Amino acid sequence: MPMSHFFISGFGGSAFVFAVALLQFAPFISSVDLNAAFTNPFLERGRLVNSTPLRQKYSTRSSFFPTPTTKFALDAQGIEDHSTSLPLAIERKYYEHDGYKISYLHKPASPGHESDPPLVLVHPVGIGISSWFWTKFLEEWVGGEAYAPDMIGCGLENGSFPWNPDTKGMSFPLGWVNALEKLIQTEVASPDSGNGWTRQGFLSWPKAPRSCVVVAQGGMTPVAVLLAARNPCSTGNVQVVGVSHLVLTSPQTWEDMVVPVPQFELANNYDFLRSQVLGKLAFSLLESRWAVRFFSDLFLFSGKCDEDWVDLTTRSEATQPEARQPIMAFNAGLLNHRSYEEELRTLEQPTLVMSGLGDKRVEDRLQYREEMRSCGLESIRGTNVMPWESPTELCAAISAFLKREHYEVNF
């Protein structure tokens, strides 16, 4: 039953509590039926001008938050960095995109892996979630450099700027894709960025730009697929900077990716999420420790979730009202307002789809392998948060994937 049915029908208290729980866990379990809504006048299908990928213009369809006529400058001054203490060798850095200050975690390449392709890690969007989601994975990763950025509007506790749809428009999923492209272009493609030159003594020469591996969690699959489709590593016989490999951990099912969320569901559920009564109550309930622990155990983990998980998702800085806007957008179904079948079927990059052994949707992902040109499926310990629950096994699977020449190619 669609999420909107729980939200707008009078099924009683227990149904409401279950619907409320989906707000927290849709980023991980990511079924189309769990996607929520958006008001019809704001939903557009067309081209967004001035959307430039790393190497060329690429037209795409997107849903769009229009900027109202009333202007209001985002006041991001005075935001303190309340990020948690990071393991040795993992550093928090910042870059700018479209007026936003965005934080990201960076881990240097492991010794002997300096020439390995860097990773770009895309965190899910949910209550209290930001780039910290990848910290356990980063601790275990042995390979090339790794970058874990906050998505626009997330990571306010890290000093990232908030996003307010009433004052500044943003398209979905293209807004998040554009921000990742800026990170790749300015920080990832040219290591030790600055003047763009490598120096040794008195000699210098242009740095060789690097392509990257994109790893995305759960419901952020549309962002990763569009990013890869817009930025392949070759055009004709010419090698260019782009995405060389794609890894999807606990992704949406194939059907979820190719069947759009109906517009009426978008409207109904977005109205619910923006409601000053039911929507606000839903967030208030799910931002509590008991709710995070109960529903994490129920939906996300094979066993019990750990205290670090509960602590990080319920921090006051991460659950302030300004942090709710991207969660509303995600659960409004904006990422799945249209089909990604064309991108999936024509994607050039080798793709790895990872599922947890406790995930009941493994069979629903078999079509990725059957329909995509070069895709493999693997399962490891865990359920729906493998980067946090099973980081060692996930790191090993990705390392093996990158060493493999190719999967069988389907034409």
Q: 334-388, pLDDT tens digit by residue?
A: 899 999 999 999 999 999 999 999 999 999 999 999 999 999 999 999 999 999 9
The whole-number pLDDT of residue 409 equals: 54
> How many Cβ atoms from other residues are within 10 Å of residue 236's Cβ?
6
Spans of all domains in the chain: 3-194+204-403
The whole-number pLDDT of residue 279 equals: 87
Residues 351 and 185: beta-carbon distance below 8 Å? no
Before 165, cis peptide (omega within 30)? no
CA distances from 312 to 38, 228, 307, 319 (A): 28, 30, 9, 10
The whole-number pLDDT of residue 339 equals: 98
Rounded Cα distance, 33 and 17, in Å: 17
The whole-number pLDDT of residue 134 equals: 98
Of the candidates 178, 101, 125, the one whose C-alpha atom is nearest the C-alpha of residue 332 is 125
Query: What would you report as the CA-atom Rg of the chain, rounded to the nearest whole angstrom?
Result: 20
Which segments in the chain show pLDDT lower than 70?
Answer: 1-85, 191-208, 235-240, 405-411
Rounded Cα distance, 233 and 229, in Å: 10
In CATH terms, the fold of domain 3-194+204-403 is Rossmann fold (3.40.50)
Rounded Cα distance, 279 and 332, in Å: 12
Phi then psi for residue 246, to 5 deg, are -130, 130
- Retrieve residue 66's tokens: 């229009």
pTM of the predicted protein model: 0.81
Rounded Cα distance, 131 and 58, in Å: 28
- Residues linked to residue 376 through DSSP beta bridges, in sequence order: 352
The whole-number pLDDT of residue 408 equals: 58
Residues 353 and 368: beta-carbon distance below 8 Å? yes
The whole-number pLDDT of residue 20 equals: 52
